[in-house]
Amino acid sequence: MLLHNLEHFDLYHLPAGQPDWLVALDKGIWDTMFFLFGGKSYLIFALLFGVTFHLQFARRAAVGEDFRPRFAWRMVLLLGFGMVNSLFYQGDILSFYAVMSFTLLPVARLGSRAVLAIAALLLLQPWLWVAVLQALPQPDARLADPASWAYFGRAKEYMTGGTLLQTYLGNITTGKAAAVLWSWENGRFFQIPALFMLGMLAGRAGVFALSDANRAFWRRMLVVAIVCFAALYATTLGLDAAVSGGALRRPLLVIVKSWSNFALMGVIVAAFALLYQRGTLVRALRAFAPLGRMSLTSYVAQSVVGTALYYHFGFGLYAYTGATVCLLIGVVLAVLQGLFSAWWLRRHKQGPLETLWHRATWIGSGRARAAAA
């Protein structure tokens, strides 16, 4: 929510005429937020996605059922939610997760070592290493702009001047193409399935359960993640000076940044898990539980509200708001969503979209009839 507001929901624009102190504050907030969460939050979500898959798979396996066919149908439904959300926000992640989740089906019954090896291979970014090898004979070759840039340029035209209908149609076509190409160019097609698999392995190992052994595990993980991030971040900063050729530097930079983001994600997850293991966060997290239980509804709702606030067809706030104001707007919207979620769940078992997704997932089964009752 906070990062999407800072980005004006993918409508990047710096407002003109702001005082110098506000420009400096905006830059500080932007840099800090993206250092901490940019390229890391979606990895955390992917990790949790894998954990959830394991919980569902194991629960059905315990009663002698294979959850994979039902999961595949569930992901088709999620793709539908994602495509609807893409009308409002071209950067929708639901459709990506839905498609890439099918990588879990062939590995669900593999041994943990085999799954770990596959995940490690994906994290290495094999396709980008092909680009590195191709660049070695001519490392100084001039590269064309990434293919996604042209699509993002066309998307900005309708975001800043289009009607409601033009924006929705543009998001589902031009905007979707831009998001897919950008994700490919930045290695997310390999990172996301890898995190799904690591999340599944974390669920298998029960590393989030409260125990002395898990506290020791997360302490070790925190140290390893900090050391890896420090080394990779330093490498990222020094890559421009170390590699002069643009054709070689571009894929190397994407590779190292993807590893650096993964390491910092590890720092965040390990620190969070340790605080939870010690009971530090348990009470505080209860306030966020309703928002978490209605995450699908909240995610789609923020796309509808956020784009209406910032895009031309709505209030057009992109032209007037920098990172500081956008962060405040994001906080207010998040609080309102949390309050609404708490209010809704006092009256219903699930959020509206969660209920629809659950019932459609189990259509044709006794569970669907029980849920409807």
> How many residues does the structure list for the chain?
373
Rounded distance between C-alpha atoms, residue 355 and residue 367, angstroms: 12
pTM of structure? 0.92
CB-based contact 243:135 (threshold 8 Å): no
Give the pLDDT confidence of 191-236 residue by residue, as tens digits.
Answer: 999 999 999 999 999 999 989 999 999 999 999 999 999 999 999 9
In the predicted model, is pLDDT for residue 281 greater than 80? no
Instruction: Tell me the backbone φ, ψ of residue 170, rounded to 5 degrees.
Output: -65, -40
Nearest to 294 by CA among 335, 367, 344: 344
Give the pLDDT confidence of 306-365 residue by residue, as tens digits.
Answer: 999 999 999 999 999 999 999 999 999 999 999 999 999 999 999 999 999 999 999 877
Predicted local distance difference test score (pLDDT) of residue 146: 92
Give the pLDDT confidence of 28-37 residue by residue, as tens digits.
Answer: 999 999 999 9
Rounded distance between C-alpha atoms, residue 99 and residue 97, angstroms: 6
Predicted local distance difference test score (pLDDT) of residue 366: 64
User: What are the start-end ranges of the H helices in 206-294?
Assistant: 212-242, 246-277, 282-286, 289-293
HSE at residue 68, side-chain half, CA atoms within 13 A, is 9
CB-based contact 336:34 (threshold 8 Å): no
Structure tokens at 200: 């599944």
Rounded distance between C-alpha atoms, residue 41 and residue 2, angstroms: 11
Could you tell me the end-to-end alpha-carbon distance of the chain, in angstroms, rounded to an integer?
A: 34
Q: What is the largest CA-CA distance in the chain?
A: 67
Q: What is the DSSP letter of 321?
A: -
CB-based contact 77:357 (threshold 8 Å): yes
Give the pLDDT confidence of 1-23 residue by residue, as tens digits.
Answer: 899 999 999 999 999 999 999 99
Rounded distance between C-alpha atoms, residue 115 and residue 121, angstroms: 10
Q: If you average pLDDT over every residue of the chain, what do you get?
A: 93
Rounded distance between C-alpha atoms, residue 147 and residue 143, angstroms: 11
Distance set, CA 214 to CA 104, 156, 336 (Å): 25, 47, 35
Nearest to 278 by CA among 207, 203, 212, 204: 212
Predicted local distance difference test score (pLDDT) of residue 367: 59
Give the pLDDT confidence of 59-115 residue by residue, as tens digits.
Answer: 999 999 999 999 999 999 999 999 999 999 999 999 999 999 999 999 999 999 999
Regarding predicted confidence, which is higher, 296 or 240? 296
Predicted local distance difference test score (pLDDT) of residue 373: 39
